[in-house]
Structure 1
Amino acid sequence: MPGSLPTVDFEGFKDGTSKDALEIGQKLFEACRDVGFAYLVNTGIPQNQIDGMFDWSMKLFALPLETKLKARHPPEGWKHRGYSGVGREQVSQHVFDPDELQAIRTGKFPDFKESFDLGNEDSEILSNVWLPEEDFPDFRNHAIDFYNSCREFQLSTLLPALALGLGLPIDFFHDYHSANANQLRLLHYPGAPTSVFESGEKGRIGAHTDFGTATLLFQDDDCGGLEVESPSQPGTFMAVPPVAGTVIFNIGDFLMRWSNDTLKSTLHRVRAPPRKDEDSGDGIVKDRFSMAYFMGADYDKTIDCLPGCFSPLRPKRYEPINAGNYLNKRLNATY
C-alpha cells in the first residue's frame, strides 16, 4: 500500500467472536493510536455502489446553480443538510470567537468547494433537505441506500472492531450510536487555473481535524489531494493517494477526547496538486470529488472517559461532555 498509512483488512471479521476478529480489532486500535488514519479493505460496502454514488455526485454538482439552491443548506451551521455553494463553509480549527471566525471566512486561502449533506431520513432532530424529485429523479433513493450501507458497516463491523481493540465489550459503542446521528457529505472541488492556487487566491481545505467519532472517506480515482500530518514529523504532511478498493478511515476529536487522548485525531488537509515541471503555461487543476461519512454519537448522550483509558498515573484530562452540545459548537464555527 502506498504512503505511510497502515492498512486494516476486515476479511474474516464476521460476527466479531473469532481470533481473527480480535486481531483485526487490535490492528484498528494500533492505527488509531499511532496515526489516527488507515486504509480499510473488505468493508463490505459494494464497490459498484461507491462508483454509482460518485456518478450521482458528479451529476448533482453539474446541475445549474439555481436548481441546486432549491435544496439550500439552512442558515444555522449545526443544521448540516442540503446544498452549500462555493465559499459558504470555511474550515476552522478550534476557533470560536466571532471576530476571528469572520477573519477566516474573508481572508486568504478561502475553501474552494461546494457540498451536499444528508443524514438519517427518520431523524426527529435534523430533516434532510432534498431537491424536488422532478429536478433530479432517483437521487434521493440512491443517496439514502449508500448512506445506509455505510451505516451497516459502522454498526456491524467498525464499531465492534474498535471496541475489541480497546478491550471493551463488543457492543460498547452501540449504545452511544443508536440514534443514527451521522452525516454523508458529497464534495466537489471545482477545477481552476493552477495560478490561483499557487497565489493563495483559492484553496481546497486547510489543515483541520474532524469533529465526531470517526470518518469514512471515499476519494475519486484520479485526482487525489488528501494530505495527513506525519505522526513522526509534526508540521509535515504526507500525501494519501486514492487506492482502488480501499476506504480511508480516521478518528475525530470527540473520540480522541473520549479516549483521554489515547487515540489520535490527526490534522489533514486537501491541496491542489502542484504544477508539473513540464508545465510552462497556466494549466488547469481538474475537478476533485470525494464523499465523507461522518459518524457521531447520539445527541442526548453524555460521555466520560472510556474504561481502560485512565488510571492514577494517567488521570482524566477532560470533564464529561454532552455529544450534541459539543458537535453543534464545532459545526457552528465552520458555517
Structure 2
Amino acid sequence: MLRSFRNMGFVYLINHGIPSEKIVQMFELSKTFFSLPTDVKKLAPHPSSGTHHRGYSPPGQEKVVQHLYDPDVLAEHRASAPDAKESFECGREDDKLMPNIWLPEGVLPGFKETCLDFFWFCYEIELNILRALALGLGLSEEYFLKYHTVPDNQLRLLHYPSVPAEDLDNDLIARIGQHSDFGSITLLLQDGVGGLEVEDPNKAGSFRPAPPVPGALLVNAGDFMMRWSNDTIRSTIHRVRAPQHSVSVDGMIPERYSIPYFCCADFSTVVDCIPGTWDEEHPKKYEPISAQEYILKRLAATY
C-alpha cells in the first residue's frame, strides 16, 4: 500500500471490510435522494460559503480549484466551464463547526440515519488503513490514530447527470475538473460507469483511467498527508471525464454516481512533518499547521 501511495498516490483495496450489501444500500439511497425534485433537495441547502461544507449543492454551485486563492483569479475560474454534478455532504452529528443540514423530517425517511451509520462505519475502515500506513512508514501502528480521534470527516453523495459528450469534449462543461483532495486520505466507492482519471505523477498532463473494480475500494492520499509526510506520499491530481466506450447512440454520456469519504486529521491538532521523512540532507519542506487552518482555506476557494 505504501509503495502505491509513494508512486501513484492511489491504491485499490479489496477485503476492506465494507459489506457489499451496505454499499448497495448507500448507492440506492443516493439515487433516491437525487431523483427528488430540485426544490425538495434544496430544503437541505448548502450554505453559500465553502467553509460550512454540508447539505445539498445543485449543479454549478461548486467549482473545484487547485491552489487558487486570489479573488480575481477565482472569479475568472468560476466563470469557466461549470461542474455538471450535484452533491450532498454530511459529517458527524455533533460537529459544532459544520453542523449537518438535513432534509425536513418525513421527506425521505431513513436518509439521515443511513448516512450517519455509513459515516461511522467508514471511520473504522479509515483507522485500519491509517494503521497499515503507519506500519509501512516504520512508525507505531497507533501513530496516525492519535491525530484522528474525532472524525472531522465528510461523507459525500455525488451524482453526475447525463450530459452531451460534445459539450464535455469541448470543455463547455466539466464533470469534475482536475484537482487533488485536501485531507489525509479519501475512500472512494464508484458505480460501474467510470470516468475517473488519475494524472501520471511522472508525466504532467498525462491522465490514466482509474476504472471501477468490482468489490474494491479506491483510496488516495490527500494534500494534507503529502505535506505531513514531507512529500514522501503523493497526493495525485485527478478528474472525472467521459468514460471510455460509453457514449450512447444519441451522443449522451450516461449518468454516474460515486460516494467519496474524505478523511481529515482532528481540526484542533497541529501537525509537523512525520519522523523519518526528513533529516539534514532532506530538510522539512513545510511549517507545522493545523488541519482546520489548511482544510478551511481550501474549502473556501471551492464555493
Regarding TM over 0.5, the answer is yes
- Deviating above 3 A after TM superposition, structure 1's stretches of 4 or more consecutive aligned residues are 274-277
Q: Distance in 1 between matches of 2:47 and 2:188?
A: 24
Please tell me the residue identity of whatever aligns with 2:263: M
> In the alignment, what sits opposite 2:3?
30
Contact 1:194 1:282 in 2 (8 A): no
Distance 1:217 1:276, change over 3 A: closer
Please tell me whether residue 207 in structure 1 is matched to residue 178 in structure 2.
yes
Q: Does 1:112 align with 2:80?
A: no
Which of 137, 140, 144 is matched with 2:116 structurally?
144
1:60 is matched with: 33
Equivalent-residue separation in structure 2 for 1:246 and 1:256 (angstroms): 23
* Distance change in 2, residues 1:226/1:314 (3 Å): same
Q: Which residue of 2 aligns with 1:299?
A: 267
Matched, 1:133 2:105: yes
1:177 corresponds in structure 2 to 148
Residue 68 of structure 2 aligns with which residue?
A: 95
Which sits farther off after the overlay, 267-276 or 88-97? Answer: 267-276
2:59 matched to which residue of 1? Answer: 86
Amino acid at match of 2:131: P
Rounded Cα–Cα distance in structure 2 between residues aligned with 1:124 and 1:66: 27
Q: Which residue of 2 aligns with 1:268?
A: 238
Q: Across the two proteins, how many residue pairs are aligned to each other?
A: 303
Alignment of 1:41 with 2:14, yes or no, is yes
In structure 1, what is the equivalent of residue 204 of structure 2? 234
Deviation at 1:274, TM superposition (A): 5.4
How far 1:287 sits from its partner (Å)? 0.5
What is residue 93 of structure 2 aligned with on the other side? 121
SS at match of 1:248: strand
Query: Alpha-carbon deviation of 1:275?
Result: 6.8
Give how far 1:133 is off: 2.3
> 1:226 offset after TM fit, Å?
0.3
Consecutive unaligned residues in structure 2, runs of 5 or more = none
- Please name the residue that 1:6 is paired with: none
Residue 202 of structure 1: CA displacement?
Answer: 1.2
Structure 1 contact 220–242 (Cα < 8 Å) conserved: yes
SS of the aligned residue for 2:41 comes to helix
State the match for 1:25 in structure 2.
none
Which has more radius of gyration? 1
Taking the aligned partners of 1:56 and 1:308, their CA distance within structure 2 comes to: 44
User: How far apart in 1 are the matches of 2:157 and 2:246?
Assistant: 28
SS of the residue corresponding to residue 186 of structure 2 reads strand
Give 3-state SS (helix, strand or coil) of 2:12's partner: strand
* Identity level (%): 49
- In structure 1, what is the equivalent of residue 293 of structure 2? 325
**1:276 and 1:175, CA in 2 relative to 1: closer, same or farther beyond 3 A?**
closer
Deviations 1:158-202 (A, max 9, x none): 111011011111111111111110000100111022222122221
State the superposition RMSD in angstroms: 1.4
Distance 1:309 1:106 in 2: 40
Aligned 8 A contact 1:195 1:282 in 2 = no
3-state SS in 2 of match to 1:104 = helix
In the alignment, which residue of structure 2 is the partner of 1:284?
Answer: 252
